[in-house]
Structure 1
Amino acid sequence: MAWKAFHNDEIDVDINYKPLNQIEEEEIIELHQLHDDSTAEMFDRQSDDNDVKSKLLEDLQETFTVDEAINHIGFGPFQILIMALIGMCTMADAMEVMMLSIIAPELRCIWKLPRWQEALITTVVFVGQFFGAAIWGKFCDKFGRKTGLVACSVWLLYYGFLSSISPTYVWFLCMRMLAGFGVVGGNQGNTLVSEFVPSKVRGKCLAVMGSFFAIGSIGIALLALVTMSTLGWRWMLALSGIPLAGFICLSWWLPESARFCMLCGNEAEAYKTLQKVARMNKKSLLPGRLKKIVVAERGKFSDMFETKEMTVTSLLLFYIWFTAAFAYYGIVLLSTEFLTQTVDNTCTSKSVGSLSGECGFWCERMSTEDYIDFIKTTFAEFIGIFFNIIVVDRFGRKPTLALVCILFGGFTSLQQFCLSRSSMVLFLFCARGSVSAMFNILYIYTPEVYPTSIRGLALGTCSTFARIGAIVTPFTAQVLMEVSPSLAIAIYAGSAFLASICALLLPIETKGRSLKNKIDIIAEMDSEQEDSEDEL
């Protein structure tokens, strides 16, 4: 049985799996003797006895890392299934966030809200995300990626449903803030996916994961088109939780990250998980034992600034994440503003008189044409994702990130001019695709650049800075836009151009780079120090 456990990958790992340092030579001989009588006879012959024992010990002494195992197994049905499952969670997160640009104008008309209160509907969601980002990141680094992902999904489903039955504006704000706290935890799904895909295709896989966000964005727009004029906004909110409920029901299959298990010292569980991956992909697992790693303290914030390179990387990423969220949610809100107020071109917006229902108050609900044009601009996210799939593994993360930042700034700047409605929609489409690619690359680069021990925390911390940008953007896209459109557009374009410079200044390129443990980074630092001393 021992021979089969190590040389037949179709058989699950033995429940009595032991690390190498706990396996005695006598145990190996005893287990081998239990295999069959012919094996026992081999041990009776002194000439063959030493050869068999030597081979068994040699096989058991071979070690491999989780990364080596994943790269050896390759991409297959397991990765497709886990991407589809976590994609359901990503779709739900997209629907919860993207509905804000649709529901805020509707609630403004229903509850007769001033502009700043309309902007606050979006802001409170990102305030919740601001507090939740680092907390969920640390939670996942302490208790596991799967545990954190399921917990935040249950939280979001509960408070999302309560939002749909909120009786007043204040209750709605409170429920949306609590829902926002849960939404940001879904980002940890990218961390889990990144730890299960081979390094050669990791960029493409994480780029594909962004397509689920685009599907969710289109889904909520289609749902709004069907329900807003018939069932109302409450039904739209309630029905948007269906993908999340599906994910929760199927999450029992989701395995915990093998890298996380090794970090916790749970070698047997990590080995069992890798066997599951190999079996589903119909590949063999590498012979030998999993290589032990130094169990470092998990979720330590100071590790993000442990070296000069990591300090510079963290500071630059904080600003780029801020800009990505500020620009992404800004262009979504600007799309609603432009579409609801533009008739034939951007210089002949609808007059207040045509929008007003009561003296001193005006609002405009989205029309069918507005919903259709909004869906058109949302399809741009697929273009951004396909662009990343083609470019990100060929030219690298840094230059691709800088390029899409420049493209966003350029297409947004064109909104300063008088444009026909079709031209306006086209430039919104291009800007939306560019900023979607920007966000997508950040979700690829950030998990790759940080070690396993703080990967979840680092992603959560970067997301916290992104939420600051998202908190600010409603007051730029809705309040400032009404006062000075040129200034609002200039702020969005300028911040993107600055982010492109920061992207080029990032000290680490992660294309083709294996995921690192903290011990790997320390070893690299020691090696570099020894090389510099030798040169001196």
Structure 2
Amino acid sequence: MSRYKHAGDTEARQPLLTGHRLDASELDSDEGEVIFDRTAEAGGHVLQKLTYEEAVERAGFGLFHWLLLVVCGWANASDAVEILCVSFLLPTARCDLQLSSSDMGLLTASIFLGMMVGGYMWGYLADQKGRRRVLIVSLTVNGLFGGLASLAPWFWLFLLMRFISGIGVGGSIPVIFSYFSEFMPRLRRGAMISCLATFWMAGNILAAGLAWLVIPRTWVYLSLGTLEFKSWRLFVVLCSVPSITSALIFKLFMPESPKFLMEADREKEAIHVFRLMFKLNMKGKEKTPPALAPIKKIFRSPFKSRSFPLLIIFYSISFGYYGLWMWFPELFERTEDGGSPCANVSRPSAGQNETCDLVKTAAVYRDGFIIAAANLPGNIFTILVMDSTGGKALLSGSLLLSSLSVFFIYVVQTKAQSLILSCVFSGVSVIAWNALDVVGTELYPTKLRSSALGFFTGVGRVAAIMGNLVFGRLVDANCAVPILLVSALLLTGGLVSLLLPQTRQTELT
């Protein structure tokens, strides 16, 4: 393993990036600006050799990073919109597609099945071929097939389009955090990843707001042969726009991760990215390993002690969060006449003779919007305390509080109480997701990071699929079972997270 010396140092320093050096002379800009300092020795100039982390620090922090946050945040928000849009259209689409509760469970699970298929595949490709390329393709798949779903006249075709869209979502979610983290200086990484995670809330609010504004509008109607293009189909089209625009932005404007470029022996391209970072901030190929090799590595020493707890945590939080969140609009529709969500369990399948009360449905979307907005305090709290407290403590504490809030959602007796506790769950659970994003990116080295996150998010999609199927099967027969199961799983995740190592302000390896 190579070791470097700074000019004048008496001891060699171990670089974080094995086998690569950043030479200050190579980082001169075209205008003659030197990004990295030179040091003098014996009257002559000696070039200073920098590790990757030092190079990121010397490139500065400023406009580039804030622009990066907006672009990556929009991609993160687009994933949230695509995942959550089905939950908002269920109360009205069920009439046109004639869905039973089991059908709705299958529909909400379909995107997670796609994400499970795509998650590890895209993560692996991102580690081998580059983060940017994978983001462009996966976001395009997400938006294209998400939009095409609006034209599906039959339930099975709508289901298929949602599944393929989920394959795209499965790529962009894990890769976007790897990509973003590799531009961040060590001391700012936790807060900035937390900022990126808050854009999920923005996507949640956007989806809820679009549903509130679009779906209840009865004037939206177009006859396309046997297809009746109603307001909920327009809503599906609008939900695909963020992913398409995000893919275009990455294609036209965004560079590849310099960390990946250095690992791939593409130093000149990495230097070009550092020049771009510096310029904007001053203004305001190895043999491909077998596909399963990275997974084997993360479950061996020294990573297995963190991988097994993460496996349980991802499963618990994904089953619990998505199992409950995707069904909030349906549960709130059941509270419109008063009582708890589990009090009114008799819901027949939608048929030709059933009419959908869009006025009542508007109140359901209003409640969904309120719950989505309740993410804001949790996101602000995460940004403020992440770097000082650390992801481990926030992850454990928020999961335990989420478990408690879900339990009380079951025992409440009025709609108002249910809405309040749902907002509490929304505000607290988002802290767990934000903390998991931070912890997950810092537990693995560059060569394993995206593969590991892709694998664990794939596990999460399996859990999300199971959660939605369980809700679909049991929400009519025994509503208490899935809700109490969510509470128990969140409690388990909170306790297991105490086994993770502390990663506060750690260096990326």
Bin for the TM-score computed over the shorter chain: 0.7 to 0.9
Q: CA 1:415 to 1:6, structure 2 compared with 1: closer, same or farther past 3 Å?
A: closer
How many angstroms does 1:492 deviate by?
Answer: 0.7
Q: Answer whether contact 2:95 2:351 (CA < 8 A) is retained.
A: no
4+ aligned runs moved over 4 Å, structure 1: 3-10, 51-54, 294-299, 347-353, 355-366
2:328 aligned residue: 335
CA contact (8 A) 2:27 2:275 kept: no
Structure 1, residues 15-60: CA drift from partner, whole Å, max 9, x if none? xxxxxxxxxxxxxxxxxxxxxxxxxxxxxxxxxxxx999734x22x
Residue 235 of structure 1: CA displacement? 0.9
Question: 1:219 maps to what in 2?
Answer: 206
Residue type of the alignment partner of 1:249:
L
**8 Å contact from structure 2 (residues 100, 349) kept in 1:** no
List per-residue Cα deviations over 1:284-328 (Å, max 9, x = no partner).
xxxxxxxxxx99969733221341x41121111011111121122
User: Aligned residue for 1:106?
Assistant: 92
What amino acid sits opposite 1:234 in the alignment? R
For residue 318 of structure 1, what is the aligned residue in structure 2? 311
Q: In structure 2, what is the equivalent of residue 89 of structure 1?
A: 75
- Structure 2 CA distance for aligned equivalents of residues 52 and 488 of structure 1: 70
Please state if 1:453 is matched with 2:473. no
Note the 1:188-267 alignment, pairs <5 A: 188-230=175-217, 231=220, 232-251=231-250, 252-267=252-267
- 1:190 is paired with a residue of what secondary structure? helix
Partner of 1:391: 385
**Which has the higher Rg, Structure 1 or Structure 2?**
1
- Does the 8 Å CA contact 1:352/1:362 hold for their aligned counterparts? no
Task: Note the 1:399-478 alignment, pairs <5 A.
Answer: 399-478=393-472
CA distance in 2, matches of 1:55, 1:195: 34
Are the structure 2 counterparts of residues 175 and 218 from structure 1 closer, same or farther at C-alpha, using a change threshold of 3 Å?
same
1:11 maps to which residue? Answer: 31
Alpha carbons of 1:281 and 1:322: their partners in 2 closer, same or farther (altered >3 Å)? same
Q: So what's the TM-score if we normalise by structure 2? A: 0.84
Cα contact 2:95–2:352 (8 A) shared by 1: no
Amino acid at match of 1:489: I
The 1:356–1:456 alpha-carbon spacing in structure 2 relative to 1, beyond 3 Å, is closer
User: Take 2:139 and 2:481, find their aligned partners in 1: how far apart are those partners?
Assistant: 38
Partner of 2:171: 185
Separation (CA, whole Å) in 1 of partners of 2:263 and 2:269: 11
Moved more, 382-391 or 182-191: 382-391
| Structure 1 equivalent of residue 49 of structure 2 | 63
Q: CA deviation at 1:74?
A: 3.7
SS where residue 265 of structure 2 aligns? Answer: coil
Choose 461-470 or 70-79, whichever is displaced more.
70-79
**Partner SS for 2:183:** coil
2:282 aligned counterpart, secondary structure = coil
Distance in 2 of aligned mates of 1:322 and 1:438: 13
1:169 aligns to 2:168 (yes or no):
no
Quick one: distance in 2 between partners of 1:226 and 1:332? 20
* 1:73 counterpart letter in structure 2: A
In the alignment, which residue of structure 2 is the partner of 1:526? Answer: none
Of 98, 108, 113, the residue aligned with 1:127 is 113
Deviation at 1:379, TM superposition (A): 1.1
Paired residue type of 2:388: R
Does residue 372 (structure 1) correspond to residue 372 (structure 2)? The answer is no
**Which residue of structure 1 aligns with residue 20 of structure 2?**
none
State the Cα deviation string for residues 378-405 of structure 1 (Å, max 9, x = none): 1122222112112222122111111001
Shift of the 236–496 alpha-carbon distance from structure 1 to 2, 3 Å rule, reads same
C-alpha distance in 1 between matches for 2:148 and 2:27 = 53
Aligned: 1:482 with 2:482: no
Equivalents in 1 of 2:492, 2:181: separation in Å? 28
Per-residue CA deviation, residues 219-254 of structure 1 (Å, 9 max, x unaligned), is: 111111222133211111111222223223322211
- From the superposition, tell whether residues 7 and 81 of structure 1 become closer, same or farther in structure 2 (CA, over 3 Å): closer
Note if contact 2:143-2:242 (Cα within 8 Å) is conserved in structure 1.
no
**Aligned counterparts of 2:59 and 2:199: Cα–Cα separation in 1:** 25
CA distance in 1, matches of 2:206, 2:66: 21
- 1:7–1:115 Cα change, 3 Å: closer
* Letter paired with 1:380: A
Write the distance in 1 (CA, Å) between the matches of 2:92 and 2:27.
63
Letter of the aligned partner of 1:253 in structure 2? F
- Determine the C-alpha separation between the residues in 1 that align with 2:130 and 2:341: 53
CA contact (8 A) 1:13 1:275 kept: no
User: What secondary structure is seen at the aligned counterpart in 1 of 2:216?
Assistant: coil
Separation (CA, whole Å) in 2 of partners of 1:89 and 1:458: 20
Cα distance 1:152–1:6, how it changes in 2: closer, same or farther (>3 A)?
closer
Listed as ranges, the gaps of 5+ residues in structure 2 are 1-22, 35-39, 221-230
Partner of 2:223: none
Long gaps (5+) in structure 1: 15-50, 284-293, 517-536
Q: % of aligned pairs identical?
A: 24
Shift of 1:429: 0.6
Structure with bigger helix share is: 1
- Superposition deviation, residue 505 in structure 1: 0.9
Matched, 1:512 2:501: no
TM-score (norm 1): 0.80
**Aligned to 1:75, what secondary structure does the other structure show?**
coil
Alignment of 1:262-341 (within 5 A): 262-282=262-282, 300-307=294-301, 309-341=302-334
Corresponding residue number in structure 2 for 1:20:
none
Distance 1:351 1:377 in 2: 22
